[in-house]
Amino acid sequence: MSEPTSYYRARYYDPSLGRFTREDPLRFGAGDPNFYNYVDQNPVNYIDPSGRKRYHGNWCGPDWTGGKEEQFDPKHFKDYRKPIDALDEVCMHHDICYFNCRSTLPCDKGGRRKCMRNCDNLLTAEAPRNSLDAQKVLLAITYHWYPDAGTNESCGCKDKGK
């Protein structure tokens, strides 16, 4: 008996085929010439909840926190999934570090960016080096030399452009 086809918001995944049933809507923009590929053919270590983004575990990915598509929020900590491995745990620490930068430097965009870059450096230093998954996450982080510190609009600062 075959497993049922699953819908991932953007397209269907057929486990009997081991791929999506339709092309990636991002096509070449997804960075993979195989438009039907599902998480680099590695569903043990990656997931794709939207059908458009590949995440390692429950914590490694932009705005992918504890199995939710959001930035880390300590109010939701009890609802987050646990890390699946050592790399995922380091990514969890990275997300918490970014949150601390946002909350301790709400009106200082430059300071927030510097703090977030320190978080990136810690992730790079702490991440296990023994897997291709770790190398891909590290490459993604080091590619963003200047993390997006966001705006000051939601922090209540008088000078929004600082």
Domain assignments of the chain as residue spans, ordered by start: 1-53, 67-147
Q: Residue range 39-58: average pLDDT?
A: 68
Q: Which of 29-38, 50-59, 135-144, 153-162 has the highest mean pLDDT?
A: 50-59
Please, what is the average pLDDT of the chain?
77
Burial of 100 (0-12, 13-18, 19+ CB in 10 A): middle
Which pLDDT value is given to residue 162? 46
Q: Residue range 18-46: average pLDDT?
A: 64
Q: Regarding predicted confidence, which is higher, 114 or 8?
A: 114
* Predicted confidence band of residue 158 (pLDDT cuts 50, 70, 90): low
Task: Give the number of other Cβ atoms within 10 Å of residue 18's Cβ.
Answer: 12
